[in-house]
Structure 1
Amino acid sequence: MAGPETCRIDVWLWRARFAKTRVIAAALVEAGAVRLTHQGRQSRLDKPSRAVHPGDLVLFVVNGRLTEVRVETLGERRGPASEARALYALIPSSGETRS
């Protein structure tokens, strides 16, 4: 079964566990701290209702670190961390490290 092709950015950040709550995710977006690259065009998001699509790049700050991820899938719920990690691929140039 195919899922929806778009998702609100605040919902996606929450499902991917980059924000503890949707309210925190929405505040991050409203503060202008999230940039989205869709079809080669980067824009600073200003509204939590903006859509994110699989393949988009999302750039934001988490815990004082600049993080860039590629949206792999949108997800259907906020699940366990292992499920959340499947929603994105970390872009190595972002300075974030993973072992």
Structure 2
Amino acid sequence: MSSPADQKQPAADGGLRIDKWLWYARVTKSRSLAQKLAIGGHVRLNKEKISSASKVVRIGDVLTITLERKILVLKVQQLGTRRGPFVEAQTLYEDLSPKPVPREEGVEGVVPQRDSGAGRPTKRERRQMDAFRKVD
């Protein structure tokens, strides 16, 4: 039977479970969410889709993670031994994610952004307009 101290150490072959690594690197808020991400097919390990949270991650591996609104491409730099602060978690990986594409004016399928102050008036502005109209 293994002790809790044994569970915190990386695997003997120099790797770490992918769900633990995602949690250590602060990609997810909890380890159970990291497991769901891996099992759900949202993680690729070296371009191959994984279906198990127990896959082993090693230094030099590249992970492609699809989240709700973005895609993360992370190269494993270190395995880590705990879930530390964000600054410590950033040392575990190199971010290779593509930069977001800037929005262009007049392109089909892109909703143009309104200028501030344009559009529906706020409650305060409506009250000011009502007060202006009621002047006798």
Output the TM-score relative to the length of structure 2.
0.62
Unpaired runs of 5+ in structure 2? 1-8, 101-136
Runs of 4+, deviation exceeding 6 Å: none
Identity of aligned residues (%): 36
State the aligned residue count: 89
Please identify which structure carries the higher strand content: 1
Which AA in structure 2 matches 1:17?
Answer: R
User: How many Å apart are 1:63 and its aligned residue?
Assistant: 4.1
Q: What does 1:1-99 correspond to in 2, within 5 Å?
A: 4=10, 5-37=14-46, 42-92=47-97, 94-95=98-99
Secondary structure of the residue aligned to 1:60 is strand
Q: Rg larger in 1 or in 2? A: 2
Counterparts of 1:8 and 1:64, CA distance in 2 = 25
- Report which structure shows greater RCO (CA 8 Å, sep ≥6): 1
Unpaired runs of 5+ in structure 1? none
